[in-house]
């Protein structure tokens, strides 16, 4: 009896993790699938501000509190399976934004490890063995050992949200790195206005060469996110980065062998 109960609960938990969150704007027939650490906070805020007039009419046009944002988001959010996502696509224009998997992981590190530790916040990743005193190298190596089925949504592979068996589940996939240009395309297709002001940044940026990561760890994390790299169109950028890192490491080794200059 106990083993059956545990299996049932495990299946329920896995089914819940295999569902996607979709934010819906009914009047525009648009749906957004948030991918965390790819401008999701800014885009979720945009949806909440726009739809507040329907859910909290007395607060329309005013700045929403955290609780009010949560209330609005709960009112426009659907939790859907793959089959339900396909059904939604028949009625709504579905979109998502993705990000280079490596810089996305660095953004996760800066937000959940560095910033959280600096401000004395609770360690939300403690259950994964993540500590606030970890450097990025150790963090990346640790994450590389965690399979997607056990991963937190902030570092889980992005393709899981918008692909199934190699087929895309949405109508438009934009890139975080080209947000302004891709949002313009999306706006013309859907009528969505541009998010006001700048996007929320962790400081990770888009420059791979600045990441504090050794070559072997870089290769390890690229293997971890290989499906994202291929499906989301980052293979050329990643290969060029790894080639550059290999050359840099080779130069450093030659300098070390040469010893100090006299």
Confidence class for position 184, pLDDT limits 50, 70, 90: very high
Tell me whether residue 87 is in a domain.
Answer: yes
pLDDT number for residue 219: 97
Tell me whether residue 119 is in a domain.
Answer: yes
Residue whose tokens read 């949405």: 170
Confidence class for position 15, pLDDT limits 50, 70, 90: very low
Tell me whether residue 226 is in a domain.
Answer: yes
Tell me whether residue 76 is in a domain.
Answer: yes
Distance CA 60, CA 116 (A): 32
Three-state SS at 115: helix
Query: Which DSSP state fits 62?
Result: S
Three-state SS at 94: strand
pLDDT number for residue 17: 57
Tell me whether residue 166 is in a domain.
Answer: yes
Range of the domain at 251: 13-258
Residue whose tokens read 């291929």: 230
Per-residue pLDDT tens digits for 58-99: 876 678 899 999 999 999 999 999 999 999 999 999 999 999
Three-state SS at 106: helix
Tell me whether residue 6 is in a domain.
Answer: no
**What total of structural domains would you count in the chain?**
1
Least confident of 145-159, 205-219, 231-245: 205-219
Tell me whether residue 2 is in a domain.
Answer: no
Query: Which DSSP state fits 198?
Result: P
pLDDT number for residue 11: 43
On whether the CB atoms of residues 22 and 34 are closer than 8 A, the answer is: no
Tell me whether residue 186 is in a domain.
Answer: yes
């Amino acid at each position: 009896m106990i083993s059956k109960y545990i299996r049932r609960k495990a299946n329920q938990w896995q089914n819940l993790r295999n569902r996607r969150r979709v934010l819906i704007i009914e009047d525009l027939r648009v749906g957004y699938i948030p991918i965390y650490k790819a401008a999701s906070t800014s885009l979720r805020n945009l949806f909440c501000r726009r739809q507040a007039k329907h859910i909290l009419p007395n607060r329309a046009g005013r700045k929403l509190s955290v609780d009010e944002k949560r209330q609005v988001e709960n009112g426009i959010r659907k939790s859907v399976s793959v089959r339900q996502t396909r059904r939604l696509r028949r009625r709504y224009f579905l979109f998502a934004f993705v990000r280079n998997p490596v810089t996305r992981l660095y953004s996760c590190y800066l937000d959940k490890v560095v910033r959280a530790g600096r401000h004395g916040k609770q360690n939300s990743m403690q259950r994964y063995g993540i500590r606030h005193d970890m450097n990025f190298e150790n963090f990346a190596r640790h994450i590389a050992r965690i399979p997607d089925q056990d991963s937190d949504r902030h570092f889980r592979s992005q393709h899981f949200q918008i692909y199934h068996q190699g087929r895309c589940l949405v109508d438009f996939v934009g890139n975080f790195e080209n947000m302004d240009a891709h949002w313009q395309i999306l706006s013309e297709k859907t009528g969505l206005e541009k998010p006001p002001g700048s996007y929320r940044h962790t400081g990770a940026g888009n420059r791979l060469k600045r990441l504090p990561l050794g070559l072997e760890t870089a290769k390890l994390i690229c293997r971890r996110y290989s499906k994202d790299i291929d499906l989301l169109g980052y293979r050329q950028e990643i290969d060029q980065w790894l080639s550059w890192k290999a050359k840099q490491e080779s130069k450093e080794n030659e300098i070390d062998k040469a010893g100090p200059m006299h």
